[in-house]
Structure 1
Amino acid sequence: MSYILEALKKSDAERKRGEIPTLGHASPFSPTLSAHAPNPVPWILAGALGLAVLILANVIYYRPDMLESANSENAPHSSPQPNAATAAPQRTLDVATPAPDPTPTPAQTPAPPPTLPPPLQDTVQEHVQESAVAEPLPLPEPQVSSITVHKPMPSPTPISAPAPAPIIESAPEPAPQAPTADPKPDTVQNQETGEAEVNTDGDAPQAETHVAAMPKPLPKPSLIVVPQAPIPPKPQAEVAKVFVEKAWSAIDKGFYNQALRDLDQAVKIEPNLAEAWFARGWANEKSGKELSAIGDYARAIAAKPDHAFALFSRGYLNLYIGDARHAVTDFVRAQGVAKDPSFRLYSHLWLYLSRTRAQQDGLAQLGKDAAKEDLTPWPGPLVRHVLGQIDEAALIAAMESDTGKADQHPSQQERRCTGYFFLGINALLNGDKASARRAFEKVLATGAVQFRQYDAAKRELDRLNL
Structure 2
Amino acid sequence: MSMTMLLHVTIPAVLGRLLPVLLVPCLLALPAWAADKPSAGPAEKDLDPGVRMSLQLMKGPYFKASPEEYLSGGIGASIVGNHRYAVKLLTMAIDSGGLNMEQLAQAYLNRGMARMHINQHRLAVEDLTKALESMPDKYDTYFQLGNALRALGAFTEAIIAYNRALELKPGYAPAYYMRGSVWLIKGDNRLAVNDFSEAIRMRPKMDDAFYLRSQAYEALGEWDKALADLKSFHLLNPLDDSVEISIARLRTRMAEPKASPAGR
TM-score by length of 1: 0.30
5+ unaligned residues in a row in structure 2: which ranges? Answer: 1-97, 254-264
- Alignment-derived partner of residue 286 in structure 1: 151
- State the partner residue of 1:12: none
Number of aligned residue pairs: give it: 157
Partners in 2 of 1:277 and 1:329 — Cα distance? 21
Structure 1 residue 271 corresponds to structure 2 residue 136: yes
Question: Once structures 1 and 2 are overlaid, which stretch shifts more, 422-431 or 237-246?
Answer: 422-431
In 1, Cα distance between equivalents of 2:163 and 2:248:
30
- Normalising by structure 2, what TM-score? 0.51
Cα contact 1:256–1:286 (8 A) shared by 2: yes
CA deviation vs aligned residue, 1:327-371 (integer Å, no higher than 9, x gap): 0110011111127x3xx222222222212222333146538x94x
Partners of 2:227 and 2:250 within 8 A in 1 = no
8 A Cα contact 1:301 1:307, kept in partner: yes
Query: Which aligned pairs between 1:34-45 and structure 2 lie closer than 5 A?
Result: none
1:277–1:296 contact (8 Å) kept in structure 2: yes
* 2:167 maps to 1:302: yes
Structure 1 residues 77-156: aligned runs within 5 Å: none
Matches within 5 A, 1:20-419: 236-338=101-203, 341=205, 344-360=206-222, 361-363=224-226, 365-366=228-229, 370=232, 375=235, 379-382=237-240, 395=241, 419=242
3-state DSSP class of the match of 1:380?
coil
- List per-residue Cα deviations over 1:84-127 (Å, max 9, x = no partner): xxxxxxxxxxxxxxxxxxxxxxxxxxxxxxxxxxxxxxxxxxxx
CA contact (8 A) 1:346 1:379 kept: no
Distance 1:424 1:295 in 2: 33
1:284 deviates by 1.1
Question: In the aligned structure 2, how far is the partner of 1:366 from the partner of 1:301?
Answer: 25
Identity of aligned residues (%): 22
Partners of 1:337 and 1:357 in 2: CA distance: 24
Structure with the larger RCO, 1 or 2 (CA within 8 Å, 6+ apart): 2
**Residues 171 and 202 in structure 2, CA contact (< 8 A), matched pair in contact too:** yes
Which residue in the other structure is 1:229 paired with?
none
- The one-letter amino acid paired with 1:427 is R
Q: Report the aligned-residue RMSD.
A: 3.3
AA aligned opposite 2:221? Q
Deviation at 1:277, TM superposition (A): 0.8
2:142/2:164 contact within 8 Å kept: yes
> Alpha-carbon deviations, 1:240-299, whole Å to 9, x = none?
222110001111111112111111111112222111111111111111212211211111
Whole-angstrom distance in 2 between the partners of 1:238 and 1:426: 52
Identify the structure with the greater helix proportion: 2
Letter in 1 for 2:135: E
Cα offset, 1:380, TM superposition: 3.2
Structure 1 distance, partners of 2:200, 2:110, is 27
The higher radius of gyration belongs to: 1
Deviations 1:141-175 (A, max 9, x none): xxxxxxxxxxxxxxxxxxxxxxxxxxxxxxxxxxx
Q: State the distance in 2 between where 1:238 and 1:365 align.
A: 46
